[in-house]
């Protein structure tokens, strides 16, 4: 259930509503909207909801009370009417302007990150990505440079001004990653690591939550719900391909997920065409399809020398190909009333 307050409702009226929710055995959760305050009523109490809705509707300052049928209450679009965007430094994800995040899969050396950061910035990327803690299928593969890698990202940010997005895999690493990152990435494999989601929810860092390759859209939204329920509203969702019977590509891009998610939630939605395809040659067409389908942005792997990349070289674009992708995005965006 959500209670939308009237425009200009007073603090006393809001406090009274929050108290009444508590008294009825539920947990009130305030969603401070741009236009109006919305109180989500959380919890599982077996009482007559219709009677309760009547009670809340009659309170001073209340505009409207609605039942939310979906299990994802806080990430539901109903609970958050009006525009919503997530700020990462000066960059806002979720507005009409499309945001492209780009950089290497893994941070390998200072020169590699710097060269990539300069190149992607010159082509119009607004955030720099790069993994320092890498989730690898094999324990024998390169696991990332850890804090040394985070320092290299910080050096690239200092030079280019690009805020950095980097993955956190373990709640134990959260402190160190938060010291360097502007945005925390929760990778596909950790989408349902509920303790990581909870701890991340207790930070105020913006979070880029990637969809698990075997997860349904509703599981994805419930994972976002864990972060929101801890009080961190700054979540961006990322479709990055799902597992299907098709093995011609690394994963199958679920393009449908973009408009479906945009309909179900207020949270911004971006696409990762690099992991979704697994092959640099398909990255641009799928990136453009994502923009056409309504994505708020892209996250793209770029490497100065993909053949020698320590991870995901096959799907990484050379800087010149990334420039070409950006030129394509600039052409497609206006067709769907977006800009870059």
With beta carbons less than 8 A apart as the criterion, state whether 153 and 129 touch: no
Q: Which does 135 bind (CB under 5 to 8 A by kind): Mn ion, ligand PEP, none?
A: ligand PEP
* 131 in contact with ligand PEP (CB under 6 A): yes
* 210 in contact with ligand PEP (CB under 6 A): yes
* 188 in contact with ligand PEP (CB under 6 A): yes
In terms of CB distance, is 52 or 105 closer to Mn ion?
105
Q: Which does 296 bind (CB under 5 to 8 A by kind): Mn ion, ligand PEP, none?
A: none
Pick the binder of ligand PEP from 135, 146, 171, 328 (CB under 6 A): 135
Stretch binding ligand PEP (CB under 6 A), from 50-58, 93-101, 138-146, 185-193: 185-193
209 contact partners, CB below 8 Å, separation of at least 6: 186, 191, 220, 223, 224, 227, 235, 236, 237, 238
131 contact partners, CB below 8 Å, separation of at least 6: 104, 105, 106, 107, 144, 149, 166, 167, 185, 311
Closest-approach residue to ligand PEP (CB): 187
- Residue 177 CA to residue 332 CA, distance in Å, equals 35
Cα-flanking dihedrals φ and ψ of residue 112, to 5°? -60, -45
Q: How far is the CB of 165 from Mn ion (least distance, A)?
A: 12
Residue 34: strand, helix, or coil = coil
Annotate 253-265 with b (16+ C-beta within 10 A) or e (fewer). bbbebbeebbebb
In terms of CB distance, is 275 or 284 closer to Mn ion?
275
Helices (H) and strands (E) in the chain, counts: 11, 14
Stretch binding ligand PEP (CB under 6 A), from 54-62, 94-102, 154-162, 187-195: 187-195
Q: How far is the CB of 186 from ligand PEP (least distance, A)?
A: 8
Strand-pairing partners, residue 107, are: none
* 187 in contact with ligand PEP (CB under 6 A): yes
* 144 in contact with ligand PEP (CB under 6 A): no
In terms of CB distance, is 64 or 318 closer to Mn ion?
318
Nearest alpha carbon to residue 46 among 22, 17, 78, 24: 24
Q: How far is the CB of 185 from Mn ion (least distance, A)?
A: 10
* 206 in contact with ligand PEP (CB under 6 A): no
In terms of CB distance, is 239 or 312 closer to Mn ion?
312
Q: How far is the CB of 295 from ligand PEP (least distance, A)?
A: 15
- Residue 333 CA to residue 242 CA, distance in Å, equals 25
* 310 in contact with ligand PEP (CB under 6 A): no
Pick the binder of ligand PEP from 9, 38, 101, 105 (CB under 6 A): 105
Query: What kind and span of H or E run contains 297?
Result: strand 297-301
In terms of CB distance, is 275 or 321 closer to ligand PEP?
275
List interacting residues with Mn ion (CB under 5 A).
105, 312
Nearest alpha carbon to residue 144 among 159, 125, 129: 129
Place of tokens 């020169």: 111
* 278 in contact with ligand PEP (CB under 6 A): no
Q: Which residues contribute to the site for ligand PEP (CB under 6 A)?
A: 105, 131, 135, 187-189, 210, 240, 272, 275
């Amino acid at each position: 259930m959500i209670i939308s307050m009237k425009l200009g409702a007073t603090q006393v009226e809001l406090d009274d509503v929050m108290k009444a929710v508590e008294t009825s055995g539920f947990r009130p959760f305030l969603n401070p909207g741009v236009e109006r305050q919305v109180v989500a009523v959380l919890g599982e109490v077996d009482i007559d909801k219709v009677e309760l809705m009547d009670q809340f509707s009659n309170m001073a300052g209340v505009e409207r009370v609605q039942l939310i049928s979906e299990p994802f209450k806080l990430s539901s679009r109903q609970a958050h009417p009006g525009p919503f965007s997530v700020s990462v430094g000066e960059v806002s994800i979720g507005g009409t302007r499309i945001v492209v995040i780009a950089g290497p899969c893994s941070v390998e050396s200072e020169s590699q990150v710097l060269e990539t950061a300069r190149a992607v910035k010159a082509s119009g990327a607004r955030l720099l990505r790069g993994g320092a803690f890498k989730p690898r299928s094999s324990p024998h593969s390169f696991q990332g440079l850890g804090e040394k890698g985070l320092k290299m990202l910080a050096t690239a940010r200092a030079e280019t001004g690009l805020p950095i997005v980097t993955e956190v895999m373990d709640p134990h690493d959260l402190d160190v990653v938060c010291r360097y990152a502007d945005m925390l990435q929760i990778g596909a494999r950790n989408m349902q690591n509920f303790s990581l989601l909870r701890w991340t929810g207790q930070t105020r860092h913006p979070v880029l939550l990637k969809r698990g390759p075997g997860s349904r859209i509703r599981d994805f939204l419930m994972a976002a719900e864990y972060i929101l329920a801890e009080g961190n509203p700054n979540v961006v969702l990322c479709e990055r391909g799902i597992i299907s019977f098709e093995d011609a590509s690394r994963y199958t891009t679920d393009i449908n997920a973009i408009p479906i998610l945009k309909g179900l939630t207020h949270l911004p939605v971006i696409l990762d065409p690099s992991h979704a395809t697994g092959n640099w040659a398909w990255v641009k067409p799928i990136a453009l399809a994502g923009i056409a389908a309504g994505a708020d942005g892209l996250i793209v792997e770029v490497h100065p020398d993909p053949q020698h990349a320590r991870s995901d070289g096959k799907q990484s674009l050379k800087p010149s190909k990334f420039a070409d992708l950006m030129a394509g995005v600039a052409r497609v965006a206006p067709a769907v009333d977006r800009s870059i």
